[in-house]
Structure 1
């Protein structure tokens, strides 16, 4: 797993990703090109074979027309017409007349190579030339003689001679021109088989790719580039488009001769038709390999160009673990990498500044803590001084003043003693408020009376320190002192209507507040500012802010109830279980 993780680097990802993309592109392009070009090459090879077939068929037709013209000239020869007319009239042709045909046949045969012999027969199948007693029906099947009769003087191509496989026979009916083209006899042309060899042997020695097979109407091979033992005639007769001969596969193109009805088959080696495809395949493979190698090298160089600056940046970042944040001095020609390097250098500069600031703050904090330790001497001096006043007043019998000094001592000790103590119990907070009321009662003589009401279950509820005393102070300053005559402050702590909550309410019987003043006071408390230049309302704003800080959304905040001429009430609700357990410790201390 660790080895795989080491291989999973940005450089390897870029390298492998680009390589896969290139291979996919090359494969798709090669496949598409191979598919399209191979189709074009096959079509081109087929068109080439078709062209060869057309040319070969044209050559065959030219040879056939040459024989047809020769037979026509012989059949219309005057001597031949005269002798056949005599035979039709019942006059036998003499031996000398028949012998004269030898010279006529020799003259015509001299014009066309490949003709073995010309034979002339009467209507009753007797042979006039050559000079023997053979009959036509002994040389040619009756069906072909009947075919010649039906063609009315046109040349009929029979095919291979049944008695001599090296000879091709053609027959035509001779019509007598001076007797209204009546039947006068038959002319047969015996042609050498090699006359129809449409390809020369020298072409095969030079590497002729095409092979030719000419089959007569009965499927016998008149001309062929293959040996009879190859069985190519049978395979062609089955109509197969691709045949195998002597271990080689050939693509077959067939052409039917309109003149003879013979079939000309052009055989093209399959290897020839796919030779261009093989070359194309080799070219694509070579191009793919060369392109892949070039892309491999270029991708390696590109991935190195991208990852090397990142590695240098990583080395610079690792130095931060050893406490040295130094900028990376290496630059890159790539704009994005260079911008990343500049951003890192800016971050290093900013972090160094922050480190310096934190270092200076730590020094300042150490000095402040030292001063705080030194300042702890002053409260002890104050408490000791108040204790001395208490004992002096006690000795002189000033018990009321002595009790005031004790209250002041407890007040100061609660306010400035143990500054790290944030949470107290409601019992402690009420005792502090009571000491404050005692001191204010001495100052106001008989004008101030107070009453503290608390349910027993609420005494140990935790509460932030100095949260109730500002409400008491506000009730005296803005309630009782603003009233003519004696005033009363009631501090009431009880269970709230909501389960699990405690309600704290401070009520005075002062002049109260009108609606506009209440709205302004509520707005000032929410904004954390004083309602007037004398500081009215700042204590209430502090209570509201501390409630929100300590209890967040679990408190309703500071609530105000007042009607003009009927006094005012300020209070809040807090959850019972919040802020830590300090109640048991207080009970132990008080015990």
Structure 2
């Protein structure tokens, strides 16, 4: 089950499910539509076939009717059948003449097997191909004779017989039999009965026209639902003929496909017969079965094709994601040097590009944090180191010595107190190197007390800070290293009075703390080196360069801590001119009203 939770497996199953569902739905719709079309076409064909068959029967029966009428209207035949000569020779001549007239009618059609005229006095006049004159003397008791005898001159269609009903020697050759009574058209006197035997092949061929499948059974029924002819095979189950529907006289044709078989029926106007065609539904479905087989093959081929397409699509989508996941695992293990290169869909390409940028940015941030952490530690150590600088302590202790020697106790106590406050402030790093501008200026006051004493009145300091900004947060030991640089490199080498000003200004959303001196200043080259060192990405060893470079390193530590606390827009900037002095500006954000000093820590 775990393998089916992957995006490739789910995409494959989703694509396959959709395609298979669509194929099955379309196949069912196509199958139903095809089935209805086939049924409709089969019904139309069956209706046309049976309509044509009914027409053929009408034409065929009309021809047989015309043949019988031609004999009934033959004046010579009518006269000879009524004439009763006493002379045997004349009687023989009459019989031969009647036979010749019948023979002429016999040869007028190819499908006539025999023509028989039965006179009221019991004589039979026949014309047949073989065995003429072998007559069944008991014909008067047969059913067919009784039907003809009971008719009133209309054509009587007797139907198919297994052999000649009157010639006993032709009992094995199937014949279609019909007949009528003969009348003298002048006085409407009955003069005999005409019976004609024809070849049933045209009728059976016409019946085969109704068949639309090998299993179709065709029946011709008379008005009493008795079979006149049929294409029924031996052993076939005969339907219930009484229940077969009867076409209406108006439509003349009937089609019913709702039962287990397709039933078509048509009336013949000449004989009053009804032709039925019964086709089993399974025969009709045979075409549907063939169509279904083709459809199944096509659907299977499409499913195979869909499987291939689903595999290709899912692999194309999942492969880039697998590469991305593999690279993410490397990142999780701490390897940020890799990248993913894919050429896929725009969305995936965008995702991969975002991931590569994120990893690259994370690598840069981690490197920046490492450098910042090292810089902060170095700044703290160097700030502490600056506060306990051996040279500074030596001078201070030497000064204390001479003061003791001269017994200037008041000045000594002030210097010692300031030194004590300085050590206490600079050694307390429990607050993560944070302080306020007010505390920093207080510390500067102690430092300047010592410096002014040491310089023997050659230093004048002015501190002008707006009371509104005394609670502004900034890193501890920010201003003191700047003033130390100003004293050491600018004011101590200067002859005459040195002036040091510390003041605050507001510029937009920045608070500027400016430390100005009128000391020796720096030429353009030294100033450029100091700025380069202060903004360099990698710190160089402090003893590896000139005094200007060392001065830049101290300012670099202050600048880095300001940037780390407040962000890139803040930090130090320096302006200096030779023999005119130097101005160092500390830029920090102006705290909002009511803002706690900790809120700016780590900002950017």
TM-score, normalization by structure 1 = 0.56
Q: Quick check: 1:344 aligned with 2:355?
A: yes
CA contact (8 A) 2:218 2:275 kept: yes
1:114–1:86 Cα change, 3 Å = closer
Q: Quick check: 1:294 aligned with 2:305?
A: yes
1:323–1:302 Cα change, 3 Å = same
Pick aligned residue for 1:326 from 337, 343, 346: 337
1:543–1:284 Cα change, 3 Å = closer
- Distance (whole Å) between structure 1 residues aligned to residue 289 and residue 378 of structure 2: 90
Residue 157 of structure 1 corresponds to 157
SS at match of 1:199: helix
CA contact (8 A) 1:250 1:267 kept: yes
> What CA deviation, in whole Å up to 9, does each residue of 1:366-422 have, x standing for no partner?
1233356557879xx9xx99xx9xxx9xxx9x9xxxxx99x9999999999967579
Pick aligned residue for 2:296 from 279, 282, 285: 285
Residue 521 of structure 2 corresponds to none
Residue 13 of structure 1 corresponds to 10
Pick aligned residue for 2:117 from 113, 116, 119: 119
1:307–1:543 Cα change, 3 Å = closer
Residue 221 of structure 1 corresponds to 227
CA contact (8 A) 1:169 1:188 kept: no
Deviation at 1:102, TM superposition (A): 3.2
Deviation at 1:18, TM superposition (A): 1.2
- Distance (whole Å) between structure 1 residues aligned to residue 149 and residue 301 of structure 2: 72
Summarize the alignment of residues 517-556 of structure 1 with structure 2, pairs less than 5 Å apart: 545=592, 547-549=594-596
Deviation at 1:72, TM superposition (A): 0.5
Deviation at 1:9, TM superposition (A): 1.2
SS at match of 1:232: coil
- Distance (whole Å) between structure 2 residues aligned to residue 201 and residue 255 of structure 1: 12
CA contact (8 A) 1:56 1:198 kept: no
Residue 562 of structure 2 corresponds to none
Summarize the alignment of residues 186-585 of structure 1 with structure 2, pairs less than 5 Å apart: 187-191=193-197, 194=200, 197-199=203-205, 210-227=216-233, 230-232=236-238, 234-235=240-241, 237-239=243-245, 250-328=261-339, 330-332=341-343, 334-371=345-382, 545=592, 547-549=594-596
Residue 19 of structure 2 corresponds to 22
1:241–1:196 Cα change, 3 Å = farther
Higher alpha-carbon deviation: 291-300 or 130-139? 130-139
Deviation at 1:236, TM superposition (A): 6.5
TM-score, normalization by structure 2 = 0.55
Deviation at 1:320, TM superposition (A): 1.4
1:8–1:154 Cα change, 3 Å = same
- Distance (whole Å) between structure 1 residues aligned to residue 182 and residue 322 of structure 2: 104
Over aligned residue pairs, what C-alpha RMSD do you find? 5.8
CA contact (8 A) 2:182 2:193 kept: yes
> What CA deviation, in whole Å up to 9, does each residue of 1:95-131 have, x standing for no partner?
5445643333233233343444433456xxx655449
- Distance (whole Å) between structure 1 residues aligned to residue 420 and residue 344 of structure 2: 74
SS at match of 1:198: helix
CA contact (8 A) 2:31 2:292 kept: yes
Summarize the alignment of residues 98-117 of structure 1 with structure 2, pairs less than 5 Å apart: 100-112=97-109, 113-117=111-115
Q: Structure 2: where are the runs of 5+ without partners? A: 85-89, 126-134, 166-170, 246-254, 433-466, 472-505, 513-588, 600-604
CA contact (8 A) 2:80 2:98 kept: no
CA contact (8 A) 2:112 2:197 kept: yes
Higher alpha-carbon deviation: 165-174 or 322-331? 165-174
CA contact (8 A) 1:250 1:268 kept: yes
Deviation at 1:362, TM superposition (A): 0.5
CA contact (8 A) 2:220 2:229 kept: yes
Deviation at 1:140, TM superposition (A): 5.6
